[in-house]
A and B are shown apart, each in its own frame.
Chain A
Amino acid sequence: MDIKTEQFVDVARKELKNDRNKQFLGVLPYGITISRQRSMQTFADPEAANDYGRAIRAEVIARLSELLEEFEKNAAANGAKIIWAETAAEANAFVLNLARERGVRYVTKGKSMVTEEMGLNDVLQENGIEPFETDLGEFIAQQLHRPPFHIVGPALNIPVEEISDLFIAKADMKEPTTDPVKLGYAARLYLRDKFHHLAMGITGVNMAVAETGSIINVENEGNIRLNKSSPRIQVSIMSLEKVVPTMADAMHMIRLLCRNCTGQKLSAYVSIDSGPKKSDEMDGPEELYIIILDNGRSKIYQDQQTREALRCIRCGACLAACPVYCKIGGYPYGWAYSGPMGQVLSPLLIGLDRTHDLFHACTLCGACKQFCPAGIDHPKMFLYYRMLEAQADTEQKGDFIPDKPAKLFDLWSWGAARAWRWKIAVKTMRPMMNYHAKDGVIRKTVAPLYGWFRTRDLPVMAKKTFHDRWTKIKKSR
C-alpha cells in the first residue's frame, strides 16, 4: 500500500464533498458509539474495567523487553519458531523466502494491520505469489485498491452496486445483486476454495501471552480460524507491543477490545494457539512461525512520551469518537492507520515530516482519550509532536518544517519588544488586513497569514486604534 499521508488536506477536502460518505458518516459513528457505550455498561464497574485495562497496557510498555523474552521462551518451548525482524523489509523477505522454499503459489491472509504497514501484499504479488485477503472488508478494499475507510470495517462505505460489479469481475459471481447477503455469500464461495487448498496462511496477532507463549486472534468471520486450521504452514505476525503478561490479562483486554470494537461482549471467535499441531492431530499447522516485528518501535520506545503510542490495541473506539474522522472518513489519513490512533501512530512510524497535517488536524477536544481503553492521551501526543516539530527534532524527523512560522514569530517578538515598533506595526498592518475586506468582514488576507483565514473570518478592523481614539477624545474634552 502506498503511503499517502502527505495528501491529507487534499483528500479531506475531496471527501468533504463526497455525499455518499458524508451520509454514511452521518449515522455510522453514532451507532457504533451507542452500542459501545451500551456494552461497556455490562461491566459491573465500567470505570474500574477501563482503569485496569489501562494499567495492563502501561505495565506492558514498562516491562516490554522482559515480557518479549518470556513470550519468546515459552512460545519456543511450545514448538513455535520465533523470527525477529527489525524492519518491514526483513519480515517481508522472510515470508517471501518461506513461501518460495515451500513452493507456495498463493497465500490467504487474516485481517492484520501490521501486514498492511509492512506492505506485504505488494511484495508477495510482485514476486509471483498471490495474496488473498479473506476478511470480507479487506478483500473488497484489496480488490478496489483503496486504503481502509475504517480500521475495523475497511470497506464499510463502498456501495453495494460497486461491490456487485467487483465480484462479477473478480470473484466469479454470476448475476449482479445489491443484496449484501448474496454478495457476502459470493465472497464465501470464492474464498472457500482458496482455504480448502491452502498451503500457507498468514495472520496478525491481537495478543501474545508471555506467561504461556500463546498467540490470540479475535474475529467474527472465522476467516482467521480457517487461515490457521487448513494449511500446513502458519505465519503469524505481531508488532512487538502486542505482548501481555498473563492469560488473565489477555482475557480482560479481550473483554475491553470486543466491547470497544463492535459492541459485543465477545467476538464470534477467539482462537488461542500454543505451538503447532500435535503429531496425532488431523488439521492445524505443522509449522508455526511467529514474526516479532519492530519496524521503528524500539526507536519510538526511547522516548517516554512517544512510547505511549505503543499502548494501542486497535479497537477503533477513538475513530467513532473523533469529530474530525466523523466528517472525513478514513481515506485522508492515507495509510493503514486512520482516525486518532492513526494520527498518533503514523507520525512515529513514518516521520513527522510526512505526517504534518495528521497531527495538526485536531482541535484537542479529547473525545478519543475519554474512550481509549488502552489509556492513550491523544491530544497530549499531538501537542508533543507539534513541540518536536517546533524544536526541529531530528529523531522523529521534525526538522523538515520550512522556517516560515519560526521567522514570523521572530519578527513578532522583535516588533513586540519595543513600544514604538509595535505602534508602527499596528498602524501599517491595519490597511493591509482590511485590503480584502468586504461587507464588514475579512475573509482573506495577504501572505503569509492567508492560511489562518482558510476556515475563519474576522470582523473588519477599525480604521483607528483604541489608543488613537482615546487620545482624541481626551483632547476634545
Chain B
Amino acid sequence: MSQRAREEILGKLKGAPKAKTVPRPYVPPLTELSWNGEQLIANFTQNLTAQTGVVHRVKDSAEAKAKLAEIFAEEGLTTIMASTDAVVAPLDLRAWGKEMGVRVLTAGDFADRDAYKNAVFTEVQAGVTGADYGVAESGTIGLIHDRNQPRLISIAPITHIALLPVGRLFPVYESVTERVFGDKNKLPGQFTFTTGPSMTGDIQGGQFKGMHGPRKLIVILIG
C-alpha cells in the first residue's frame, strides 16, 4: 500500500503547476543574541518564572546539593529518581541521599523497562535531571535524552528538578539546535525543550498545573 501511495502522492505533487519560489525576506532580528552572561541569566530567570517555573542560583555543586536538601525538606520528598548525565552523576546523589534519608533511584537500578516504569510512574515523588541547555529567550531548558537521561524521569513524576550549569545557557533556540542537530549522524532519539510545569487551561480557561507531567519545575542554576 505505502509504496503505491507514495508514488501516487509524489507523482501528483510533482505534476502540479509549479509556483515561483520567492526569495525570503530578511531574517527577523534576534536581539537576544547580544545578551551577555548576566543578561542571559536574568532573562532566563524572568521568562521561566513568568511560566511559574522556580529558579534558584547557586555557586557550585556543593551549594547545589545544599539547595537540593532544602527543596527536598520543603517538598517532603523521600523517594526520587535521578538521571546519570554529566551534571547529576558527579554529585553522587545516592550517597548524599543516604545521609539525608532520601531514597535515590536511577534507571540503571532496574532489570527491565517494566520495573523501571512501575517505579517512575508510581513510586518516585520527583525526577532530578541535569539540563544540557538553557535558552534565555523563553526561560527554557533543553534535554538530550539518551541512556543517562531517560525520557520519563522529567515527565512522569509530579516534581521535576533540573540542574543547569550557567555555561550551558544560550540566548536563542537556534544556538542550541545548531549544536544538537548540526551533525546528522549524531541525532538524539529525542530532544525536549521544557518551559515551566505541565499545564492546561482546558476547563473553562482556568489554569491547572500538573495536568499529566510535573506540577512543579525547579531549575537550579549552577555557577
Which residue numbers of A lie inside 8 Å of B, CB to CB? 24, 28, 31, 43-45, 48-49, 51-52, 55-56, 58-59, 61-65, 68-69, 74, 77-78, 82-86, 90, 93-94, 134-137, 140, 153-160, 163, 180-181, 183-185, 187-188, 191-192, 195-196, 209, 211-214, 220-223, 225-226, 228-230, 232, 240, 247-248, 251-252, 254-255, 262, 264-278, 280-284, 292, 294, 298-299, 301-302, 304, 307
B117 within 8 A of A: yes
Contact indicator A282/B204 (Cβ below 8 Å): no
Return chain A residues, CB-CB under 8 Å to B19. Answer: 61-62, 304, 307
The interface centre, meaning the residue of B6, B121, B189, B198 with most chain A CB atoms within 10 A of its CB, is B189
CB-based nearest B residue for A139: B202
A268 touches B9 (CB 8 A): no
Q: How far is the CA of A195 from the CA of B151 in the complex (A)?
A: 14
Whether B25 lies near A248 (C-beta < 8 A) is no
A274 to B18, CA, bound (A): 31
Q: Give chain A residues whose Cβ lies under 8 Å from the Cβ of B116.
A: 282-283
Pick the residue among B29, B202, B210 that contacts A156 (CB under 8 A). B202
B152 partner residues in chain A, CB cutoff 8 A: 226, 229-230, 283
Known: A192-B212, A265-B47, A281-B147. A136 touches B200 (CB 8 A): yes
Residues of B within 8 A of A184 (CB): 200, 202-203, 208, 211
Identify the closest chain B residue to A250 (Cβ). Answer: B177
- Asked if A271 meets B147 with Cβ closer than 8 Å, knowing A59-B24, A304-B17, the reply is no
In the complex, residue of chain A having the shortest beta-carbon distance to the beta carbon of B120: A283
Return chain B residues, CB-CB under 8 Å to A90. 1, 5
Give the 4 A-B residue pairs with the shortest CB-CB distance, closest first. Answer: A222-B213, A137-B202, A229-B151, A222-B198
User: How distant is the Cα of A436 from the Cα of B204 in the complex, in angstroms?
Assistant: 46
Number of interchain pairs (Cβ within 8 Å) = 280
The 8 Å CB contact of B147, one of A49, A58, A209, A282, is: A282
Bound CA span A158–B24, Å: 43
Which residues of A sit under 8 angstroms from B198, Cβ to Cβ? 220-222, 268-269
Interchain Cβ contacts under 8 Å between A and B, 23 examples: A45-B28, A55-B24, A78-B187, A93-B1, A136-B211, A137-B200, A140-B202, A156-B204, A158-B203, A247-B177, A248-B178, A251-B173, A265-B195, A266-B138, A268-B197, A269-B194, A273-B190, A274-B189, A278-B189, A283-B117, A283-B151, A294-B8, A294-B9
Contact A284 B151, beta carbon cutoff 8 Å: yes
Which residues of B are interface residues toward A (Cβ below 8 A)? Answer: 1-3, 5-6, 8-10, 12-14, 16-22, 24-31, 47, 51, 107, 110, 113, 116-118, 121-122, 137-140, 145-147, 150-152, 155-156, 172-174, 177-178, 181, 184, 187-206, 208, 210-214
Given known contacts A48-B26, A298-B13, what 15 new A-B pairs fall within 8 Å (CB)? A31-B205, A44-B31, A49-B28, A62-B21, A84-B3, A84-B9, A136-B203, A196-B117, A220-B211, A221-B213, A262-B201, A266-B195, A272-B192, A282-B113, A298-B16
